[in-house]
Copies of this chain bind each other. A is one copy, B any other.
Amino acid sequence: MPSPSPSPSSSPPPSPAGSRPLRADARRSIAAILDAGIHVLAVRPDASMADIAAAAGVGRVTVYAHFSSRADLLRAVVARAITEGDVVLAQVDLSGDPRAALERLILASWEQIARIGAVAAAAAGVLEAEEVRRLHAAPAARVEALLARGRELGVFREDLPAAWLVSVLHQLMQGAAVEVAAGRLEAAQAAPAISASVLAVWTCAR
């Protein structure tokens, strides 16, 4: 028998004194701003807060009520894109030959970066390296597990620290986004270039 109580989204609980949970309309505004932010910044990485407000169908004041600066908004847009991308990456088949699995993971990861286009390159410029790294904790854990499995099977090198090998993948992925955004690397060449480079680093010990 269905519960007679209303769903939380249609009827948020009243704010307890001293705390300020977001009201449903505030949550909807934030979601609309972040969705618009991803789409607008993907094509125009220099879009202003006003451009994003217009695309989200809200006023500039509403955007500033939730995000105190453009960097704040960019941070939230990137965090949301990474969370969404992580749901897709969790579906990638990482079984079988670890080298082939690494290539599948890199291709799927690059598709997520390409989906958000220039936002990734803009984030590389505006957000601190440590912040970008923190946001990638979940995808990084997947890469670490694949590296460990490939090492057990003897296909990935053991003579460099695991943390370094994982960071190489992260660095080359971010670096490729910067190179593509700057027009120095063709978008279609990015995934093969990252794949060939990371595979070389992970497998070619002298």
What is the interface of chain A, defined by CB distance below 8 A to chain B?
121, 124-126, 128-130, 133, 159-161, 163-164, 167-168, 170-172, 174-176, 178-179, 182, 184-185, 189, 193, 196-197, 199-201, 203-206
Contacts and interface: CB of A to CB of B under 8 A. Distances in A.
A184 B164 CA distance: 8
Nearest to A189: B161
B201 A205 contact: no
B125 A178 contact: no
B167 A184 contact: yes
A163 B193 CA distance: 11
Contacts of A161: 185, 189, 193
A156 B170 CA distance: 24
B167 A175 contact: yes
A200 B204 CA distance: 6
A43 to B, nearest CB: 19
Contact of A172 (B163, B168, B178): B168
A172 B164 CA distance: 10
B125 A182 contact: no
Given A179-B164, A184-B163, A185-B161, A199 B193 contact: no
Contacts of A167: 175, 179, 184-185
Contacts of A124: 129
Contact of A182 (B130, B178, B204): B130
Given A121-B129, A167-B184, A196 B205 contact: yes
Contacts of A159: 196
Nearest to A159: B196
Contact of A164 (B130, B133, B185): B185
Nearest to A196: B160
A125 B121 contact: no
Nearest to A164: B193
A201 B201 CA distance: 6
